[in-house]
Amino acid sequence: MPAQAAHPPADLVAARVRDPYPYFAWLRRHAPAHVERRPGRPAVWQVSRYEDVRALLTDSRLSKDPDRVPGYVPGPAGFNRHLVHADPPDHTRLRTLVNTAFVPRRIAMLEPFINAVAHRLLDRVEHHTHVDLIADFAAPLTFRMICAILGVPEHLDTAETRDTLMATIAPEASADPARAERELRRLLDALIADKRSGEGPGGMDLLGALVRAGDESGTISEEELRSTAYLLLLVGHDTTMNLLGNGMLALLRHPAEAARLAAQDAGSRLVTTAVEELLRYDSPVRDATFRCAAAPIGLHGRTIGTGDIVSLLIGSANRDEERFRDADLLDLGRTPNDHLAFGYGLHFCIGAALARLEGAVAFPLLLKRLAAAELAKPADELPWRPARVMRGLAALPLVRR
């Protein structure tokens, strides 16, 4: 095993938001357990190899509880008491409450609705020369789906609501992040109050079910209700929006693979493997969500100390040459494809079935209905959103020549 190099090259570090893959490759090769230390802050370890990431995703020595790191706040205040930031038994309690809404057979029932919304969004831009795939399609589609599942009224399904939500995960990109947090808290508290009074839409209405379950059993606090509503809105929207944006960019940069997928009928085997490959190739979740060491962990001759933060680099693991043949090659028929885009183990993404279904509907449809579209600017000039764990485009401008 080669000795750990001290620091990755500055140019690779600087380019991490736009293109993290050269940086990841350097880490896997030279520093598979790389630590960043800053004065007054906890140490942050970056774990980059597939086998290490997968093993640590199920390692009980890693905790999801941010209270174990004094002074560390993993997200906006007042929105952090949810299952992603909880260990058993709290994680088990909270996940059990939301699990039933996301079982694959219930999600599969949404396919006609997803199809209808996707067609309606594309109808709006059918004759436009310029289209932003994020603002015009990926963002409104994914937000409409998670709003339908949660039982959020349609009058709140707006670009303004989405912008308020997204400002909480990239405060440096917001003009007034504190105002966005206050507005989101007011919105969620009002929504919970409406559910408690019996108002709001029918349908799946997961949020209404959570409110009723909590009131009847006392198994979920008000802060946990608000935090869980926030979490589900965020991951149900952001993760799949990133999948659609990152995936379409990959297809536009690989026209032969795009043509291969466009020729398929809905529900074909290649559509299924294509979604998995697009999840692997440019993962919508770049780093696994918060974890810290509850006990010392030895890794590649180094020791991760108790209380240190451990960043499991999903995007790097999914490009590991030791696990995936031709890992930097997009192969829509790749099988097997045991990527880690949705995590692994106890904290496997609860919305995985929804993201997969939206991708299976959207990618073939986009390739057919936007067949004449191409990138409106060079790929290396596209804007990427700065975020702690996600990887997603701020815009994907297309033009019809």
State yes or no: pLDDT of 100 exceeds 90.
no
Q: What percent of the chain has pLDDT over 70?
A: 96
Instruction: Name the pLDDT band for 3 (thresholds 50, 70, 90).
Output: low
Cβ atoms < 10 Å from Cβ of 153 = 12
User: Is-contact 230 150, C-beta < 8 A?
Assistant: no
State yes or no: pLDDT of 92 exceeds 80.
yes
Decide the pairing of beta strands 44-47 and 309-312: parallel
Name, in order, each residue with C-beta under 8 angstroms of 41's C-beta and a sequence gap of 6 or more: none
Question: Hey, what amino acid is at 233?
Answer: L
Adjacent-strand bridge partners of 398: 131, 375
Nearest to 166 by CA among 341, 387, 16, 355: 387
Decide the pairing of beta strands 373-375 and 397-400: antiparallel
The domains located in the chain, with CATH, are 10-400 (1.10.630.10)
User: pLDDT tens digit string along 304-334?
Assistant: 999 999 999 999 999 999 999 999 999 999 9
Nearest to 166 by CA among 213, 216, 101, 234: 234
Name, in order, each residue with C-beta under 8 angstroms of 206's C-beta and a sequence gap of 6 or more: 98, 101, 149, 150, 151, 232
State yes or no: pLDDT of 78 exceeds 90.
no
Q: Is the dihedral of CA 198, 202, 207, 210 positive or negative?
A: positive
User: pLDDT tens digit string along 171-206?
Assistant: 666 678 888 899 999 999 999 999 998 765 556 789
User: pLDDT tens digit string along 114-143?
Assistant: 999 999 999 999 999 999 999 999 999 999
Q: Where are the beta strands (DSSP E) in 180-306?
A: 292-293, 297-299, 302-304
The residue-averaged pLDDT of 218-226 equals 90
> Which SS3 state, helix, strand or coil, does residue 265 take?
coil
The residue-averaged pLDDT of 285-294 equals 96
Cα(44)–Cα(304) distance, rounded to whole angstroms?
A: 9
Q: What is the pLDDT of residue 329?
A: 98
User: pLDDT tens digit string along 365-393?
Assistant: 999 999 989 999 999 999 999 888 999 99
Q: What is the pLDDT of residue 199?
A: 64
Instruction: Name the pLDDT band for 33 (thresholds 50, 70, 90).
Output: very high
State yes or no: pLDDT of 1 exceeds 50.
no
Q: What angle do CA 213, 204, 133 make, to 5 degrees?
A: 125
The pair of structure tokens assigned to 283 is: 């993962």
